Amino acid sequence: MNTDNRTLNLCKALGWQGGTIHQVAEATGVDTGTLLYGKPSSESTASDYSLGWFAARSCSFEYNRDHNFRAFHGVADFWLGVAEGFNGY
């Protein structure tokens, strides 16, 4: 996924019409380099990435905002999964 799409997907996930990668980084708690160029960590559990993908595909914005996004603030794999889950939406 290219960096523009990843930023756009994360903005959509956060309920925004648009924004910068710096705004997304502040909202997610993940640094800009990881959001733009990161890949899921092989050391962490694949479940964080899978939970992000699943949250993007199946949970309402309100549920994500109130539960998932708060619980996974700063968890890079989760947010990379969210970006991939919104791919194509």
Domain enclosing residue 38, as ranges: 3-85
Q: What is the mean pLDDT of residues 18-30?
A: 97
The answer for residues whose C-beta is within 8 angstroms of residue 3's C-beta and 6 or more apart is 21, 36, 37
Tell which wins on pLDDT, 40 or 17: 17
| DSSP conformation class of 66 | I
**Confidence check: pLDDT of 44 > 60:** no
Structural domains counted in the chain = 1
| Residues 49 and 78: beta-carbon distance below 8 Å | yes
Phi, psi for residue 60 in degrees, rounded to 5: -70, 160
Q: What is the mean pLDDT of residues 40-60?
A: 85
- Report pTM: 0.91
pLDDT > 70 fraction of the chain, expressed in percent and rounded:
94
Tell me which residue of 87, 79, 85, 68 sits closest to 34, measured CA to CA: 79
